[in-house]
Amino acid sequence: MQVIKPEDHTMLFDSFEKDMNESMSCVLSTDYKRSVDIDGMPVYVDMSCPGESDSNGRLWQPMTVPVQLPLHGIWGLTLDNIFAVGWMGCLLHFDGEQWRSLRGGVIDKNTERFAACEENTPLFAIDGNSQGEAWAVGDNGVILHFDGVNWQHEKSNTDINLRAVLCTDNNIVYAAGAGGTVLMRDAQGLWSNLNNPLSSGFHTLLVLDDGSLLLGGGRYFVDQGAWRVGALQRRRIQSLKV
């Protein structure tokens, strides 16, 4: 699944194989919906707006979402339980039928602009574990935790802008962001700063098989009025074992 941001509205695209194979069967029904069975899970694609096919025969179809905000991250375990996060703190949920807004995008009734409130703090990444828990991170050290039922704030002990979050198989969660910030949530639910000596901002995380943590990031600078990518840095932190 891929997220794009057109000029006038936000759309989500889902990709489905057109070719018949052992794990997918397709039936075109009378209401112009294609019933797709993927590993035993039915998916219904509205063929009245068929979208476009790519060179590999995959169908990319727009999905209607209730916001007009850029989306930065998406995560889910099943086709009827998917979350997306983005600008102005928006948090969306897909229940297999439609996308709904859970929080964020609060409008000030007096100014008709986005309100300057904590709920509108931009979110940039989301990840979850096999138990159905999830974490979303964003500006000002914001961390939201989904316990399988509700979303709640967790204390990050930092006001640094966070850009990446990663869940591991042993219930350890990492978050990373500006200024070389790397946070770790232990199995008891407490976040701590790992005091990384590198100063680059991090945008992505990966835990390797040996338990070490791989971080990717870089710097941005303004040159003649345009944003440009500075030096990209990747560091393998051998000492971060879990």
pLDDT digits (tens, 9 = 90+) for 171-215: 899 999 999 999 999 989 999 999 888 788 899 999 888 888 888
Mean pLDDT, rounded, of the chain? 77
Q: Given this model, what pLDDT does residue 224 score?
A: 53
pLDDT tens digit sequence for 116-153: 999 999 999 999 999 999 999 999 999 999 999 999 99
Q: What is the pLDDT of residue 210?
A: 82
Find out whether 145 and 132 touch, Cβ atoms under 8 Å: no
Tokens of residue 85, six digits: 């996060």
pLDDT of residue 107: 94
DSSP 45-97: EETTS--EE-TTSEEEEEEE-S--S-EEEEEEEETTEEEEEEGGG-EEEE-SS
The residues pairing with 135 across neighbouring beta strands, listed in sequence order, are: 127, 145
- The burial class, CB within 10 Å (0-12 / 13-18 / 19+), for 219 is middle
pLDDT digits (tens, 9 = 90+) for 12-66: 444 433 332 333 222 222 333 333 343 444 444 444 455 778 787 788 888 899 9
Residues 6+ apart with CB under 8 A from 189: 154
Contact between 154 and 146 (Cβ < 8 Å):
no
